[in-house]
Chains A and B, each alone.
Chain A
Amino acid sequence: MIQFAFKRFALAALILVVAVTVMFLMIRAVPGDPVSIMLGPRATPELKARLIAEMGLDQSLPKQLFIYFSGLLRGDLGVDVFSGRDVTTIVFEQLPHTLKLIFSAILWSALLGIGLGCYAAAHPNTWIDRAAAAISVSFIAAPAFVVALLSLLVFAVYLQWFPAIGVGEGFWDTAWHLVLPSLAIGLSWVGYIARLVRASMLEVLGENHIRTARAFGLSERRIVGIYALRIAILPVVTVIGVGMGFLLSSAVFTEIVFARPGLGKLVIDSITSRNYPIVMGAVLVSTALFVISTAVADLINAILDPRARSGT
């Protein structure tokens, strides 16, 4: 187990290193010098010279890469061109907003999806099973930002049931502000998770250890809810882990639509103002989040189902 965890995280670290290098080279490969691009129209010769020295651009490429990596290891993502503040501080100020949004979305959609999936698997081919199947396929297709815009139009502008913008203050107000954004992100996941759970549940219910549990006379509810779910939930864990990138992408749009603070808003604002270090910092942090969550999903899988350890 420990060995598996070690190997998995080593791979994650390797991927991150390559990802950072790719991004670093991408910046250098762009025509024109990076300093002018970063500074944009603000570029004065003094500012340029200072930035070149700060970023070590007068050094050789491998040396630059080394400087960049050693900065990263100290948690240094560079400095905001405008305010001179640490990019790390700025990014981590916004990150909680995005995480709150993502986790609220995945929480409600996973609970509903798992419930629906279990019910559908326990009662296959009933009308509720078919309805769930039809709804899942239809909702899987709906891109989050379109759902966000349409729900904003219907529930915030016309019906005025929910606030249109901002994050709110205090627990209930915050939760109230989260409803529509979290609906937009989670909607496509409900049907997806339900379908996944139904399929794996049906498979698990046919396995030997469930037959044994039945032979011991355990109640059906206990079998489905505890013994089978433990295994049947595995694909959901993987999918959420791998889906982190997808969730982050949806969050970017949803934050813009509902004018919420967060990583997405930060990146878009920084692109508009050509505040380059912030864009790179935010992209790096979200990539790291994605890589780590994939690795963690694999680990949880290995803990819940010992068979998965040898598999990967």
Chain B
Amino acid sequence: MTDIIADTSKSRSELAIIIAGVARDPLGLIGLIIVGSIVFSAIFASWIVPYDPIAMNIPDRMQGPSGTHLLGTDQLGRDTFSRVIAGGQVALKVALPAIFGAMTIGLTLGMIAGYGPKWLDNFLMLLFDTIRSFPTVMFALAVVALVGTSLQTVVFVVMATSIPTYGRVARTQTLTLRNSEFILAERAMGASMARILGVHMLPNIIGVLAVLAAMDIPTVIALEAGLSFLGLGVKPPTPSWGVLLKDGYALIRQTPWLVVGGGLPIILATLGFTFLGEILRDVVDPKLRKNR
């Protein structure tokens, strides 16, 4: 019990050290600022938006950027700036649960594959390889065609396609740890498999997966926006960045500010999370430095 308490306080100070380490690097600082402002504007969206993001106002439709409408209005007279802010909320609402879910399932399956019997390992690896063999967007399209479009479908697709990545990494880490002395000692003392995996291995694996998750967020945000752009993701009138792009694309000559308003946040968000992820990886585990 005492060592668990000691552990949490240790990890808290570790977190502070990690954040400070990330902020020391200029790219990391830019990443922190971008990600921070996206999260901030998503949390406080309802206070920030000047207009209701889904309220139509036909007389004011298709107006260019001005003092009253910072980023203009769309074909239904909705304020683009408000929709951009609210879109950030939708992006995180899809990305965070999807990645958390994928990480949890991937971690569990990966540890089982790494620690369990060989046949189970082979089976799970074949399953992972198979899921990875579908081009992500094609897989997403197949699922959407089957079960229809909704926020949950997008979350499911993202989860299903990223579980193998987390699973593989968790498996490799488990395999490395499996024969380390402290695990052997624990096993010699007769600890159960659940205890070995949950109490002793988990803390050593979770850090690597967290970095992976940070680097995964841009991909997920882009996938959600992409599906919504195709009209197969978040349903209107929900203001996703992809929906903004879709509306803007349909009227690209009349309302080009929609394309800019939907496109720039996606680029900024991917940039911010990529910077953050790269620097985080170098700070947390320099050994992980590899390509993409």
Task: Evaluate contact between A287 and B260: CB separation under 8 angstroms.
Answer: no
Question: What is the predominant secondary structure among interface residues of chain B facing chain A?
Answer: helix
Complex Cα gap A142–B139 (Å): 21
Q: Is A239 on the interface with B (CB-CB < 8 A)?
A: yes
Question: What is the predominant secondary structure among interface residues of chain A facing chain B?
Answer: helix
Q: Is A149 on the interface with B (CB-CB < 8 A)?
A: yes
Could you tell me which residues of chain B, from 82 to 140, have a CB within 8 Å of some CB in chain A? 126-127, 129-139
Q: Is B218 on the interface with A (CB-CB < 8 A)?
A: yes
Given A137-B275, A235-B291, A276-B145: A143 and B138 within 8 A (CB)? no
A149: chain B residues within 8 A (beta carbon):
245, 248-249, 259, 263
Q: Is B225 on the interface with A (CB-CB < 8 A)?
A: yes
**Residue in B closest to A282 when the chains form the complex, CB atoms:** B138
Complex Cα gap A18–B259 (Å): 40
Q: Is B267 on the interface with A (CB-CB < 8 A)?
A: yes
Task: Evaluate contact between A15 and B133: CB separation under 8 angstroms.
Answer: yes
Q: What 1/0 mask marks residues of chain A from 254 to 281 whose CB sits below 8 Å from any chain B CB?
A: 0011000000000110110010100110
Separation in Å of the A41 CB from the closest CB of chain B? 14
Separation in Å of the B262 CB from the closest CB of chain A? 8
Complex Cα gap A298–B209 (Å): 27
Separation in Å of the B248 CB from the closest CB of chain A? 8
Q: Could you tell me how many residues of chain A have their Cβ less than 8 Å away from some Cβ of chain B?
A: 54
Given A141-B274, A245-B134, A249-B135: A26 and B141 within 8 A (CB)? no
**Residue in B closest to A290 when the chains form the complex, CB atoms:** B135
Task: Evaluate contact between A137 and B133: CB separation under 8 angstroms.
Answer: no
Complex Cα gap A279–B133 (Å): 17
Q: Is B185 on the interface with A (CB-CB < 8 A)?
A: no
Complex Cα gap A268–B27 (Å): 38
Q: Is B23 on the interface with A (CB-CB < 8 A)?
A: no
Task: Evaluate contact between A245 and B260: CB separation under 8 angstroms.
Answer: no
Complex Cα gap A246–B127 (Å): 20
Task: Evaluate contact between B133 and A291: CB separation under 8 angstroms.
Answer: yes
Q: Is B230 on the interface with A (CB-CB < 8 A)?
A: yes
**Residue in A closest to B266 when the chains form the complex, CB atoms:** A146
Complex Cα gap A235–B130 (Å): 22
Q: Is A248 on the interface with B (CB-CB < 8 A)?
A: yes
Q: Is A43 on the interface with B (CB-CB < 8 A)?
A: no
Task: Evaluate contact between B146 and A142: CB separation under 8 angstroms.
Answer: no
Task: Evaluate contact between A141 and B218: CB separation under 8 angstroms.
Answer: yes
Task: Evaluate contact between A239 and B27: CB separation under 8 angstroms.
Answer: no
Complex Cα gap A287–B135 (Å): 6
Task: Evaluate contact between B136 and A249: CB separation under 8 angstroms.
Answer: yes
Binding stretch for chain B, among A56-64, A192-200, A208-216, A221-229: A192-200
Q: Is B81 on the interface with A (CB-CB < 8 A)?
A: no
Complex Cα gap A245–B146 (Å): 21
A271: chain B residues within 8 A (beta carbon):
141, 144-145, 232
Please tell me which one of the listed residues A15, A140, A235, A245 contacts residue B274 in the complex, with CB atoms under 8 A apart. A140
Task: Evaluate contact between A245 and B136: CB separation under 8 angstroms.
Answer: yes
Task: Evaluate contact between A150 and B134: CB separation under 8 angstroms.
Answer: no
Task: Evaluate contact between B274 and A287: CB separation under 8 angstroms.
Answer: no
Task: Evaluate contact between A286 and B135: CB separation under 8 angstroms.
Answer: yes
Given A235-B291, A239-B291: A18 and B271 within 8 A (CB)? no
Task: Evaluate contact between B292 and A192: CB separation under 8 angstroms.
Answer: yes
A253: chain B residues within 8 A (beta carbon):
137, 226, 229-230
Complex Cα gap A157–B260 (Å): 13
Complex Cα gap A287–B129 (Å): 12
Given A141-B267, A143-B226, A150-B263: A249 and B278 within 8 A (CB)? no
Complex Cα gap A310–B245 (Å): 48
Task: Evaluate contact between A157 and B256: CB separation under 8 angstroms.
Answer: yes
Q: What 1/0 mask marks residues of chain B from 252 to 292 whose CB sits below 8 Å from any chain A CB?
A: 11001001100100110011001100100000000000011
Given A26-B146, A149-B263: A18 and B292 within 8 A (CB)? no
Given A19-B130, A145-B226: A252 and B142 within 8 A (CB)? no
Best-buried of A142, A248, A256 by chain B (most CB within 10 Å) = A142
Task: Evaluate contact between A290 and B229: CB separation under 8 angstroms.
Answer: no
Complex Cα gap A270–B141 (Å): 10
Given A30-B146, A141-B218: A283 and B249 within 8 A (CB)? no
Q: Is B222 on the interface with A (CB-CB < 8 A)?
A: yes
Separation in Å of the B97 CB from the closest CB of chain A? 21
B145: chain A residues within 8 A (beta carbon):
270-271, 274, 276, 279
Given A140-B274, A141-B218, A143-B225: A249 and B263 within 8 A (CB)? no
Task: Evaluate contact between A142 and B126: CB separation under 8 angstroms.
Answer: no
Task: Evaluate contact between B138 and A248: CB separation under 8 angstroms.
Answer: yes
Separation in Å of the A109 CB from the closest CB of chain B? 14
Q: Is B147 on the interface with A (CB-CB < 8 A)?
A: yes
A257: chain B residues within 8 A (beta carbon):
249
**Residue in B closest to A264 when the chains form the complex, CB atoms:** B137
Separation in Å of the A159 CB from the closest CB of chain B? 13
Task: Evaluate contact between B133 and A150: CB separation under 8 angstroms.
Answer: no
Complex Cα gap A273–B271 (Å): 36
**Residue in B closest to A243 when the chains form the complex, CB atoms:** B292
Q: What 1/0 mask marks residues of chain A from 1 to 37 whose CB sits below 8 Å from any chain B CB?
A: 0000000000000111011001100110010000001
Could you tell me which residues of chain A, from 119 to 177, have a CB within 8 Å of some CB in chain B? 137-138, 140-143, 145-146, 149-150, 152-153, 157
Contacts A152-B252, A253-B226, A287-B133 supplied; 5 other A-B pairs, CB < 8 Å: A22-B131, A26-B142, A245-B138, A252-B137, A279-B142
Residue pairs across A and B with Cβ atoms less than 8 A apart, 13 shown, are A22-B131, A23-B142, A37-B146, A140-B274, A149-B263, A157-B252, A244-B135, A248-B135, A268-B232, A274-B145, A282-B138, A283-B141, A287-B135
- Smallest CB-CB A-B distances: 3 pairs: A249-B137, A245-B135, A143-B222
